[in-house]
Structure 1
Amino acid sequence: MDHFLYRNGALHAEDVPVAEIAAAVGTPFYVYSTATLTRHFQLFDEALDGMDHLVCYAMKAASNQAILRTLADLGAGMDVVSGGEYARARAAGVPGDRIVFSGVGKTRAEIIQALEGGIRQFNVESEPEMAVLSEVAHGLGKVAPITIRVNPDVDARTHAKISTGKSENKFGIPISQARRVYADAAALPGIKVIGIDVHIGSQLTELEPFEMAFRKVAELTQTLRTDGHEITRLDLGGGLGIPYARSNEAPPLPADFGALIKRTVGHLGCEIEIEPGRLIAGNAGLLVSSVIYVKQGEDRQFLILDGAMNDLIRPAMYDAWHDIVAVEEPEPGHEQVAYDIVGPVCESGDTFAKGRMMPKLQAGALVAFRSAGAYGAVMSSEYNTRPLVPEVLVKDDHFAVIRPRPTFDEIISRDTIPEWL
Structure 2
Amino acid sequence: MDHFLYRDGALFAEDVAVSEIAAAVGTPFYVYSTATLLRHYHLFDEALAGMPHLVCYAMKANSNQAVLRTLAQAGAGMDVVSGGEYRRARAAGVPGERIVFSGVGKTAGEIRLALEGGIRQFNVESEPEMLVLNAVARELGVVAPITIRVNPDVDAKTHAKIATGKSENKFGIPIARAREVYRMAADLPGLDVVGIDVHIGSQLTDLAPFEQAYQKVAELTEILRGEGHDIRRLDLGGGLGIPYERSNAAPPLPTDYGAMVQRTLGHLGCEIEIEPGRLIAGNAGLMVSAVIYVKSGEGRDFLILDGAMNDLIRPAMYDAYHDIVPVIEPAPGVEQQPYDVVGPVCESGDTFARQRMMAPLKAGDLVAFRSAGAYGAVMASEYNSRPLIPEVLVQGDQFAIIRARPSFDEMINRDTIPHWL
Deviation at 1:248, TM superposition (A): 1.0
Matched, 1:365 2:350: no
Q: Tell me which amino acid in the other structure corresponds to 1:35.
A: A
- 2:202 aligned partner: 202
Verify: 1:329 aligned to 2:295, yes or no. Answer: no
Shift of 1:308: 0.0
Aligned to 2:292: 292
Residue 29 of structure 2 corresponds to 29
Give, in whole Å, the separation in 2 of the partners of 1:113 and 1:405: 30
Q: CA deviation at 1:249?
A: 3.1
2:72 corresponding residue in structure 1 = 72
The count of corresponding residues between Structure 1 and Structure 2 is 421
Correspondence for 1:339: 339
Equivalent-residue separation in structure 1 for 2:194 and 2:288 (angstroms)? 44
Question: Where do residues 211-230 of structure 1 align in structure 2 (5 Å cutoff)?
Answer: 211-230=211-230
Residues in 2 aligned to 1:234 and 1:123: alpha-carbon distance in whole angstroms:
11
The runs of at least 4 aligned residues of structure 1 exceeding 4 Å deviation read none
Amino acid corresponding to residue 397 of structure 2 in structure 1: D
% identity of equivalent residues: 80
Question: For the residues of structure 2 that align with 1:59 and 1:262, how far apart are their CA atoms?
Answer: 25
Query: CA offset at residue 131 of structure 1?
Result: 0.5
Shift of 1:234: 0.3
**What is the CA-CA distance between 1:351 and the residue it aligns to?**
0.1
Tell me the distance in 2 between the aligned counterparts of 1:89 and 1:248: 35
For residues 263-342 of structure 1, what are the structure 2 equivalents within 5 Å?
A: 263-342=263-342
2:83 pairs with 1:53: no
User: Counterparts of 1:129-208 in structure 2 under 5 Å?
Assistant: 129-208=129-208
Question: What CA deviation, in whole Å up to 9, does each residue of 1:356-387 have, x standing for no partner?
Answer: 00110000000000000000000000000000
Give the Cα separation in 2 of the matches to 1:412 and 1:29.
Answer: 20
2:376 alignment counterpart: 376
AA aligned to 2:91 is: A
Structure 2 Cα separation of the partners of residues 114 and 249 of structure 1 = 41
Summarize deviations over 1:66-113 as a string: whole Å, max 9, x none.
000000000000000000000000000000000000000000100000
Quote the Cα distance in structure 2 between the aligned partners of 1:112 and 1:412. 34
Within-5 A mapping of 1:95-110: 95-110=95-110
Cα distance in 2 between the residues matched to 1:275 and 1:324: 28
Measure, in 1, the Cα distance between the counterparts of 2:19 and 2:369.
Answer: 14
Q: Distance in 1 between matches of 2:298 and 2:275?
A: 48
The whole-number CA distance in structure 2 between the counterparts of 1:348 and 1:92 is 38
Rounded Cα–Cα distance in structure 1 between residues aligned with 2:76 and 2:17: 29
2:94 matched residue in structure 1: 94
Aligned equivalents of 2:276, 2:31: Cα separation in 1: 20
Q: Which amino acid is the alignment partner of residue 49 of structure 1? A: A
Q: Distance in 1 between matches of 2:244 and 2:292?
A: 25
State TM-score, norm by structure 2: 1.00
Specify the alignment match of 1:418 in structure 2: 418
Query: How many angstroms apart in 2 are the aligned matches of 1:412 and 1:365?
Result: 30
Q: Secondary structure in 1 aligned to 2:416?
A: coil
Inter-partner Cα distance in structure 2 for 1:420 and 1:162: 45
Q: Which sections of structure 1, spanning at least 5 residues, go unmatched?
A: none
Distance 2:39 2:246 in 1: 19
SS of equivalent to 1:60: helix
SS in 1 for 2:31: strand
Gaps of 5+ in 2: none
Q: Could you say what secondary structure the match of 1:55 adopts? A: strand
How much has 1:250 moved relative to structure 2?
1.0
Q: Secondary structure at the match of 2:60?
A: coil
CA shift for structure 1 position 335: 2.1
Q: Distance in 1 between matches of 2:99 and 2:37?
A: 19
Residue-by-residue CA offset, 1:320-367 (whole Å, 9 max, x unaligned)? 000000000000001211000000000000000000001100000000
The corresponding residue for 1:232 is 232
> Superposition RMSD on alpha carbons, in Å?
0.4
Structure 2 residue identity aligned to 1:372: A
Name the amino acid aligned to 2:289. S
- 1:119-156 Cα offsets, whole Å, 9 max, x none, are 00000000000000000110110100000000000000
Counterpart residue type for residue 152 of structure 1? P
- Aligned AA (2:72): A
Task: Answer yes or no: is 1:13 the counterpart of 2:10.
Answer: no
2:76 & 2:57 partners in 1: Cα distance?
6
